[in-house]
Structure 1
Amino acid sequence: MTIHFTPIPTETVRAYRAGGLDANGQPPERAIAAGAGYPCRHCLDMIPQGAAMLVLAHRPFPMPQPYAEIGPIFLCADDCAAGGGPNLPAFLNSPAYILRGYGSDHRILYGTGAVTPTPDIPARAALLLSDPNVAYAHVRSASNNCFHAAINRA
């Protein structure tokens, strides 16, 4: 099973950068990265210290519904190339993350969620996506549940 780490779509990021409202109906906040701990959900890299960034509430689902979690994310304020691909993104540098599968109805598939050591994410994602009931998976913070990236079949 070949997997693909998928960032927030470029058109969504462009809308946020242009002042489009976030999942809470607010314009993104502008800030300066005060360290190296701000992962951009578009380029899938860390926002450099001192660089402009956006902070906003994002819902990585196509529509509101009970399982469509909303949470804070960071984006590079300036243009950045969309990241993604089959390899573990470098911005996933914490010891572990939550990996969770979702059905084609965009709802959590119970029993698929697990705190996963970072080096094991690709193998765990491939296992999840080998189940035909799993449409895609999310990588989320193990401490705060923030969305980091989707994982799809390649």
Structure 2
Amino acid sequence: MIFQGLSSDVARGLRAGGPDANRMAAERAQSDGAGNPCRHCLNHVPEGAGMLICAHRPFRALQPYAELGPIFLCADDCAPYRGSALPPVLTTSPDYLVKGYDARERIVYGTGQVTPRAEIETYIAQLLARDDIAFVDIRSARNNCWMARATRD
């Protein structure tokens, strides 16, 4: 499985003042530490560093299952995360909301569950082994914010 965050094109556009999913410019703020996970590098924005707060919809088209929510992004350029190891932003909470989606970007009913951190990789692998699952989104179990996406290798 491969974990990834926002595309670099989306991150670059937001940093340049382009509109977020609500058609607004991102808010600028200063990170207070580990509670501000960047959705591009999938690390926490360091305490005191500049960050952006914006609305994100990780889907190609508007449709009933295209959830929208707030995310954080490093204000300065950061390297995109794409790898098979569990990214740092998925190691600091006791659990996460994990959901499988089909090729039409629709939730596959019965796949959504709050999953303990230690079981995330196993559960995602089980979902990605299914023919009806195209990708898996991982969200905050507390605030429902999109954290990252997992796909097949």
Q: TM-score range by the shorter chain?
A: over 0.9
The 5 A counterparts of 1:107-146 are 107-146=106-145
The 8 Å contact of residues 4 and 150 in structure 2, kept in 1 or not, is answered as: yes
Question: What is the 5 A alignment of 1:78-93?
Answer: 78-92=76-90, 93=92
2:76 and 2:59 map into 1 onto residues whose CA distance is: 24
| 8 Å Cα contact 2:33/2:44 also seen in 1 | no
Normalising by structure 1, we get a TM-score of 0.97
RMSD of the TM alignment (CA)? 0.7
Q: Which runs of 5+ in 2 are unaligned?
A: none
Task: Report the alpha carbon displacement of residue 90 of structure 1 after superposing the two structures with TM.
Answer: 1.5
1:127-146 Cα deviation digits (max 9, x unpaired): 00000100000010011111
8 A Cα contact 2:89 2:147, kept in partner: no
- Identity over aligned residues, as a percent? 51
How many residue pairs match? The answer is: 152
Aligned position for 1:6: 4
Q: CA deviation at 1:88?
A: 0.8
Q: Does 1:74 align with 2:72?
A: yes
Deviation above 2 Å: which 4+ runs of structure 1?
none
Partner amino acid, structure 2, of 1:13: A
- TM-score normalised over the length of structure 2: 0.97
Amino acid at match of 1:147: W
2:52 is the alignment partner of 1:51: no
Q: Distance in 2 between matches of 1:80 and 1:134?
A: 30
1:152 and 2:151 matched: yes
